Amino acid sequence: MRIVLVGPPGAGKGTQAAFLAKNLSIPHISTGDLFRSNINQKTELGKLAKSYMDAGNLVPDEVTIGMARDRMEQPDAANGFLLDGFPRNVSQAESLDQALKADGVELDAVLDLEVPEGEVVKRIAGRRICRKDSSHVFHESYSPPKKKGVCDVCGGELYQRDDDTEETVRKRLEVYHTQTEPIIDYYRAQGLVVTISALGKVDEVTKRAMEALQRKD
C-alpha cells in the first residue's frame, strides 16, 4: 500500500507509523527523521534544515521534495510506503502526485489523525527521543522507557527535541493549520482521506488505523 499519514505535530504520527509500517510490511518514510539524521551527521542539508526546524517553519520545498523522492526511489519502497510528515503543503502534494503518475502508481489512502490541541501539547511536552535514531520515541509519563533517559530499543541517550519548546510548538501548530491542513481537502477531492481519532492508548489507535486502512484497501 501507498499511504500518507497526516496530523498535527505531536498527534502520534511517528509512533503509529512504526507499528503500521511493520504490520503492512512497508517502509516508514519520515521527512522529519531524515532531516534529524542529516543534522546528527552534520551534513550541509542538516545545517540548512536545522535553522528552519528550530524556528518551527517548513524546510524549503526545493530541498524537501528532492530528499523525499530519493528515499522513495530506494528498492524497499518499490511496492509501497508509509509517508510521515510529507507532503506538508499543497505544492509538495502536487509534486508527489506527478512522481507517482510518472511511475504509473497511485496513493491508496491518506490517514488523518485527529487530536485536540490540548492533548498534542501534553504529548509534545513529555516526548523524549533517541539520540541514535529519532524514530525511537518515548513519553515521560505515557510510554516511559524501562530505564530513565535510556532508549529501550538501542540503548541510546534520550533527549528532548530542540523544536519541542513551547514557542516553537505554537509556531508549528500555526504552520500546520495554514499550510498542511489544506492538503486534507486536496486529497479529500480524490476520495483518499480516512479520518480517525488518535486519542486513547497507542495500541487502540493502531487497531483503529488498521481497520480504517482495510476499508480503503
Neighbours of 79 (CB within 10 A): 12
The beta-strand segments (E) located in 1-69 are 2-6, 28-30
Applying CB under 6 A, which of residues 45, 72, 135, 138 lies at the interface with ligand AP5?
138
188 assigned binding-site residue:
no
Considering CB distances under 5 to 8 angstroms, the limit depending on partner class, which of Zn ion, ligand AP5, none binds residue 13?
ligand AP5
Contact between 202 and ligand AP5 by CB under 6 A: the answer reads: yes
Give the active site residue among 13, 71, 123, 128. 13
> Phi/psi zone of residue 165: left (φ > 0), alpha (ψ -120 to 50 degrees), beta?
beta
130 in contact with Zn ion (CB under 5 A): yes
Residue 127 known to be catalytic: yes
| Residue 29 · residue 84 · CB < 8 Å | yes
What residue type is 193 in one-letter code? V
Confirm whether 161 is a catalytic residue: yes
Query: Among candidates 42, 37, 48, 22, which has minimal Cα distance to 134?
Result: 37
φ, ψ of residue 17 to 5 degrees: the values are -60, -40
Of the candidates 2, 71, 88, 128, the residue annotated as catalytic is 88
Q: How far is the CB of 88 from ligand AP5 (least distance, A)?
A: 4
- Which residue from 2, 4, 28, 32 is in contact with ligand AP5, where contact means CB under 6 A? 32
With the CA atoms of 65, 67, 68 and 69 taken in that order, what torsion angle do they form, in degrees rounded to the nearest 10?
Answer: 80
* Footprint on this chain of ligand AP5 (rule: CB under 6 A): 7, 9-15, 31-32, 35, 52-53, 56-59, 64, 85-86, 88, 92, 123, 126-127, 137-139, 142-143, 163, 172, 200-202, 205
Please report, as ranges, the residues that interact with Zn ion according to CB under 5 A. 130, 132-133, 136, 151, 153-154, 156
| Catalytic residue positions, numbered | 13, 88, 127, 161, 172
